[in-house]
Amino acid sequence: MKNFTVTIKDVASLANVSTATVSLALSGDPRVNVKTKKLVEEAALKLNYIPNEIGRSLRAKKTETISFIIPNTSHHVFTHPYFAQLLEGINEVLDNHNYNLMLSTSPSEKDESAAYNKILKNRRTDGIILSSASIHDRNILRMVESGFPVVYLGKWHHDNVLTVERDDIGGAYTATEHLIRIGRRRIVHITGPLDHQEGIDRLEGYKKALLDNKIHYDEALIIEKDFSRESGYEAAAELMRKQIDYDAVFAGNDLMAIGALKFYKENKISVPGDVSVVGFDDIEMATVVSPMLTTIHQPMREIGYKAAEKLIAFLNNQEVKEKRTIMSTHLIIRESCGADMP
Amino acid sequence: MKNFTVTIKDVASLANVSTATVSLALSGDPRVNVKTKKLVEEAALKLNYIPNEIGRSLRAKKTETISFIIPNTSHHVFTHPYFAQLLEGINEVLDNHNYNLMLSTSPSEKDESAAYNKILKNRRTDGIILSSASIHDRNILRMVESGFPVVYLGKWHHDNVLTVERDDIGGAYTATEHLIRIGRRRIVHITGPLDHQEGIDRLEGYKKALLDNKIHYDEALIIEKDFSRESGYEAAAELMRKQIDYDAVFAGNDLMAIGALKFYKENKISVPGDVSVVGFDDIEMATVVSPMLTTIHQPMREIGYKAAEKLIAFLNNQEVKEKRTIMSTHLIIRESCGADMP
DNA sequence: TTGAAAGCGCTAACAC
DNA sequence: GTGTTAGCGCTTTCAA
């Protein structure tokens, strides 16, 4: 390291003023004389002075940093296709407000006291954006209840928690309804894990659409999987093995839909000829498979953006009008259903 | 916020010892009496005391945080397919060593003095992992030259910089050679931006393979694009428009290869019948397109892992034996070339 | 308009 | 073994 750290003292002595004056001058306090201010600025420039944020933080009890915490339950946390978009939205807001972004995987239940506390209380961060996970994750509950400013990405019934939610029920309803509208009746639903809110809600939307259209809900058409591509493939295989009779599948996410598509291709089952399929998420991959996947679009970038905005507003004591923000989804029709029109 | 911050003082007074003793006891210093230690620990537990990292950092001049900086040149920085895997590798190491991860997009050239300095010098971070970008990016140069500990992901000819590099030249060579081996002779290369090192190196590998196999290098077969899927599609369209005669394409990355594949499908050009295509990266998407893409695998997760390990070793004054680490790539044969064997 | 001084929470010399 | 003290770099009363 060739350059010594230059502190506020160095600037002060070069400018022949006190450190207090330097601090004031550099923060643009109107009280300080224009001449002095110029003097200080020149000194700072000359020394290439950059205020040490650590010192500032200690004093101000603010870090200008927020943490984005994602569950570490799955092996491929970061690889989750919408993670990147979420991050993009968050990053954009933070950049605009000169906040820093810290990224953590949430601690596993095991080492709670250590890792969990570290993230939560060490005060290197002003607030948290928490992405959703299992509804049984106790750590999340505790983070939320600690009083630490939290924006939760998903449903959370708690007074002092801000949320940004997708309309999972509505999206699933739309997806299912679309299949019904194009004439499908035996609609399989490959669900995500049913201890995840998304899994639960999408199943609910599916049921609701069936009900409203007077189609019998058949347990045999429900397969619980884990949102992975492999599990989607496996689901399709299972359906064949069990000789289930069906004409459509609504997959809980695109990855599973794409997995199923692969099985169909390998087994010469025509999509959408023999079976129509709809996914959920609208990840990029959905546009490169063939047939291209009809799916429910969810605005992940906007969700990240919104979440960051709410958190920063809250941290700056601005009134956050809507505690819950619900982002709507919409149907993207491509090729996997065999209908050209909505 | 319902809980007041509990500091080392609170613990000290509850345990009836000095703050120094608390500090020592909690850090497991062998000098402190076992009894006292237990006393302190109980007090800390009772008060739910978590050391404030800011105070610690200020004193120790270490933050136990490293920054991962990615270029903001492209709109979709985070969406870059291998970004997630890189992050996964980095995160794993940091978790193991109890380091925090800060994520930044590198400042654009415009606001250098502000954003750039902030990242570089505010000392909220102990070291940096810098991902590659344009070879003309001056900010990167300055970060590297500042003396700040940096691990650069890519080639960098500089004494005090650690690097983790892909073998781009070798990978491109292998890809091209594969096409030659299966009998292709008129091989198009869709390059990435030629002011990016990857773009340059992959072109070099391509040329070298041609040379070694005594195939004439034809400028007309080189198209410079920008690594995006759209640009790959555009490249294929361009080739048709210009009525270029060719029987294979080596794309500078998978995204462009997949874009080209799309064009071929739309225009009923058979792959691999009419043209063989090879990509580079081995992103997940390469396995869901049809035909599945033959490509060069690069171990992004391992690169991230290695980079983080090197940085942490360096920060802890361990000797880093290899300044340059070169990660090798290998060919993954799938369906887009029409050869079943390597 | 500027400076002196206190103190944010912590650790590390040094004393005892 | 444990306590006293100083000080990391900064901001912010309070006085001058």
In this complex, do A103 and B103 lie within 8 Å of one another by their Cβ atoms?
yes
Which tokens is B14 given? 């509850």
- Give the list of residues 6+ apart from residue B313 with CB closer than 8 angstroms, or none: B319, B320
Q: What pLDDT shows up at residue A42?
A: 94
Residue with tokens 């105070």: B55
Q: What is the mean pLDDT of chain A?
A: 89
* pLDDT surpassing 80 at residue A175: yes
Task: List beta partners, residue B104.
Answer: B69
pLDDT tens per residue, range A196-255: 899 999 999 999 999 999 999 999 999 999 999 999 999 999 999 999 999 999 999 999
Q: What pLDDT shows up at residue A119?
A: 66
- Give the list of residues 6+ apart from residue B77 with CB closer than 8 angstroms, or none: A88, B70, B71, B83, B105
Cα Rg, chain B, nearest whole Å: 26
Q: What pLDDT shows up at residue B1?
A: 38
Which tokens is A119 given? 């993230």
How far apart are the C-alpha atoms of A148 and A159, rounded to whole Å? 13
* pLDDT surpassing 70 at residue B110: no
How far apart are the C-alpha atoms of B330 and B282, rounded to whole Å? 10
Q: What pLDDT shows up at residue A1?
A: 37
Helices (H), chain A: 8-15, 19-26, 34-47, 53-60, 83-96, 117-121, 138-145, 168-181, 197-212, 229-241, 254-266, 300-315
Once rounded to an integer, what is the mean pLDDT over residues B220-238? 96
Q: What pLDDT shows up at residue B231?
A: 96
In this complex, do B55 and A58 lie within 8 Å of one another by their Cβ atoms?
yes
The H-or-E segment that residue B229 falls in is: helix B229-241
Residue B295 pLDDT grade (very low, low, confident, very high; cuts 50, 70, 90): very high
Q: What pLDDT shows up at residue B318?
A: 87
pLDDT tens per residue, range A239-298: 999 999 999 999 999 999 999 999 999 999 999 999 999 999 999 999 999 999 999 999
Q: What pLDDT shows up at residue B289?
A: 96
Asked whether strand C has any atom less than 7 Å from the CB of A16, the reply is: yes
Rounded alpha-carbon distances, angstroms, from residue A257 to A225, A284, B293: 11, 13, 20
CA of A21 to C1' of D12 (A): 11
8 Å CB contact between A55 and B55 = no
Protein contacts on strand D: list nucleotides below 7 Å from a Cβ: 1-5, 7-13
Q: What pLDDT shows up at residue B317?
A: 84
Third-level CATH fold of A168-298+331-337 = Rossmann fold (3.40.50)
Contacts of B95 in chain A (CB under 8 A): 105
Closest CA to B117 of B132, B129, B107: B107
Chain A 51..90 CB hits on strand C (< 7 A): 55, 58-59, 61
In this complex, do B147 and A1 lie within 8 Å of one another by their Cβ atoms?
yes
* pLDDT surpassing 70 at residue B342: no
Asked whether strand C has any atom less than 7 Å from the CB of A32, the reply is: yes
How far apart are the C-alpha atoms of A265 and A276, rounded to whole Å? 13
Q: What pLDDT shows up at residue B288?
A: 95
How far apart are the C-alpha atoms of B225 and B252, rounded to whole Å? 9
| Domains A62-165+300-327 and A168-298+331-337 agree in fold | yes
CA of B58 to C1' of D9 (A): 8
pLDDT tens per residue, range A290-324: 999 999 999 999 999 999 999 999 998 888 889 99
Q: What pLDDT shows up at residue B109?
A: 52
* Amino acid symbol at B194: L
CA of A117 to C1' of D9 (A): 27
Q: What pLDDT shows up at residue A120?
A: 65
Q: Where are the domains of chain B?
A: 8-49, 62-165+300-327, 168-298+331-337
Task: Report the residue of chain B nearest A116, measured CA to CA.
Answer: B50
Burial grade of B333 (CB within 10 A; 0-12, 13-18, 19 or more)? middle
Residue B79 pLDDT grade (very low, low, confident, very high; cuts 50, 70, 90): low
Lookup: nucleotide whose C1' is closest to A32 CA = C1
How far apart are the C-alpha atoms of B209 and A249, rounded to whole Å? 47
In this complex, do B54 and A52 lie within 8 Å of one another by their Cβ atoms?
no
A159 — phi, psi (to 5°)? Answer: -60, -55
Q: What pLDDT shows up at residue B184?
A: 96
8 Å CB contact between A273 and A338 = yes
* pLDDT surpassing 80 at residue B115: no
Exposure class string for A2-17: b at 16+ Cβ within 10 A, else e: eeeebbbebbbebbeb
User: How many Cβ atoms sit within 10 Å of the Cβ of residue A134?
Assistant: 15
- Give the list of residues 6+ apart from residue B218 with CB closer than 8 angstroms, or none: B186
Once rounded to an integer, what is the mean pLDDT over residues A186-200? 94
Q: What pLDDT shows up at residue A342?
A: 45
Once rounded to an integer, what is the mean pLDDT over residues B50-71? 89
In this complex, do B104 and A102 lie within 8 Å of one another by their Cβ atoms?
no
The minimal CB distance from A79 to the residues B1, B88, B103 is found for B88
Which tokens is B239 given? 């080739």
Closest chain A C-alpha to B262 CA, distance in angstroms:
8
Kindly report the CATH class assigned to A62-165+300-327.
alpha beta
Q: Are strands B324-327 and B330-332 parallel, antiparallel or unpaired?
A: unpaired
Exposure class string for A186-205: b at 16+ Cβ within 10 A, else e: bbbbbbbbeebbbbbbbbeb
Task: Report the residue of chain A nearest B1, measured CA to CA.
Answer: A147
Q: How many CB pairs under 8 A join A and B?
A: 127
Q: What pLDDT shows up at residue A2?
A: 37
Q: Which residue's alpha carbon is at the shortest distance from the C1' of D5?
A: B20
CA of A139 to C1' of D1 (A): 38
pLDDT tens per residue, range A64-98: 999 998 876 544 556 677 788 899 999 999 988 98
Which tokens is B92 given? 């794993």
The minimal CB distance from A54 to the residues B58, B88, B258 is found for B58
How far apart are the C-alpha atoms of B133 and B154, rounded to whole Å? 9
Q: What is the mean pLDDT of chain B?
A: 89
pLDDT tens per residue, range B327-338: 999 999 999 998
The minimal CB distance from A54 to the residues B91, B124, B146 is found for B124
Closest CA to A66 of A92, A86, A85, A94: A94
DSSP string over B151-180: EEES----TT-EEEEE-HHHHHHHHHHHHH
Contacts of B285 in chain A (CB under 8 A): 284-285, 288
Contacts of B2 in chain A (CB under 8 A): 147
Question: Which of B65-79, B98-112, B289-303 reaches the highest mean pLDDT?
Answer: B289-303
Which tokens is B15 given? 């345990």
In this complex, do B102 and A101 lie within 8 Å of one another by their Cβ atoms?
yes
* pLDDT surpassing 70 at residue B218: yes
Closest chain A C-alpha to B28 CA, distance in angstroms:
15
Q: What pLDDT shows up at residue B140?
A: 73
Lookup: nucleotide whose C1' is closest to B59 CA = D8
pLDDT tens per residue, range B118-166: 666 667 889 999 887 777 777 777 777 777 889 999 988 777 789 999 9
DSSP string over A17-71: S-HHHHHHHHTT-TTS-HHHHHHHHHHHHHHT----HHHHHHHHT--SEEEEEE-
Q: Using omega within 30 degrees of 0 as the cis cutoff, is the peptide bond preceding B342 cis?
A: no
A37 — phi, psi (to 5°)? Answer: -60, -50
* pLDDT surpassing 60 at residue B185: yes
The minimal CB distance from B53 to the residues A83, A91, A123 is found for A123
Burial grade of B334 (CB within 10 A; 0-12, 13-18, 19 or more)? middle
* pLDDT surpassing 60 at residue B214: yes
The minimal CB distance from B101 to the residues A103, A229, A265 is found for A103
Residue A50 pLDDT grade (very low, low, confident, very high; cuts 50, 70, 90): confident
8 Å CB contact between B250 and B278 = yes
Task: Report the residue of chain A nearest B85, measured CA to CA.
Answer: A79
Closest CA to A235 of A253, A251, A219: A251
Q: What pLDDT shows up at residue A210?
A: 98
Q: Which residue's alpha carbon is at the shortest distance from the C1' of C6?
A: A59
